[in-house]
Amino acid sequence: MWQSIKQCIKFMYAHLFFCYILYKKQELVNSHPIFIVGCGHSGTSLMIRILDTHSTFFAFPHETGILSFERNDNVIFWKFYRAYATYKTACSTRFIEKTPRHIYHIPTIFRLFPNAKIILMLRDGRDVACSIRNRYHYFEKGVRRWVDDNEIARPYWHDPRVITQRLEDLQYHPEVSLRRILHFLDAPFEAKMLDYHTIPRNFYAEKIQYTEGRQGEDDHRVRRNWQINQPLQKDTSRWKAEMSVAEKQFFKQHAQYLLEEWAYATDDNW
């Protein structure tokens, strides 16, 4: 008898929970969410940091990675809603989520969130490979990651629900770039976005402090937090000083075609 009652209670609880998820799911879908994706080290953190200063947006201050680990739609919506409810402010209406690896889940994003808009961040693959090498100590995998991540998004390069944004254009022409993005998002441009660095935000750590980021994961997070609170830096061509002859040769062999396709080079004479 008691076992039957417990089973009945569990069933009722599960049913109520399912109904609650369906109710909150509609709230999420109707919020017209914004997702930022792209190959790692391409400026996704900088983009979400800047957009977070807009009065109608609010950012999840961490990479959720939800779509990379969950396959059950109800669990996905529940996890997104928990983040949504945690970080939503009184004036904000649209959430921004940034997980670079979600570039592999663009079809899922549009299936679950038909009203979503996606910002696809791009960066010169030579700089991306150098940055990944400095972080993880391998260059070749960085090149392949840049190619693989951007190739997986190829079907969406010209999709009206997706906008591509070069990091270099954002750094050299911030207002033009942001106005273009805000137009795509159907939101008004706000000048304070250009001064984002004057409004401190903690995304990866509890303090904003310069560090080399080489003393473990926590130290790296502090460095990332410091980086996104700095003004835009215009000179991003680190590859010119850092790439060896062998690395240049490897890059040209495996990624030159994509470099030219994104107009970062006209030929391999560099």
Domain layout of the chain by residue ranges: 12-200+233-261
Query: Tell me, what's the pLDDT at 34?
Result: 97
Q: Quick check: 210 and 223 in contact, CB under 8 A?
A: yes
- pLDDT recorded at residue 111: 94
Query: What is the pLDDT at residue 88?
Result: 85
Positions of the chain with pLDDT lower than 50, given as ranges: 11, 13-15
- Neighbouring C-beta atoms of residue 187, cutoff 10 Å: 19
CB of 45 within 8 A of CB of 224?
Answer: yes
Residue 137, token pair as written in the block:
């100590």
Please give the structure tokens belonging to residue 89.
Answer: 């402010």
The amino acid sitting at 250 is F
Q: Given this model, what pLDDT does residue 28 score?
A: 82
Q: Is the dihedral of CA 193, 194, 199, 204 positive or negative?
A: positive
Predicted pLDDT of residue 225? 87
Tell me if residue 175 falls in helix, strand or coil: helix
Neighbours of 21 (CB within 10 A): 16
- The CATH architecture that domain 12-200+233-261 belongs to is 3-Layer(aba) Sandwich (3.40)
Residue 172 has a pLDDT of: 95
Q: What is the DSSP letter of 229?
A: T
pTM higher than 0.85? yes
Give alpha helix (H) positions in the chain: 2-29, 44-51, 66-69, 73-87, 106-112, 125-136, 140-152, 167-172, 174-184, 217-227, 239-242, 245-261
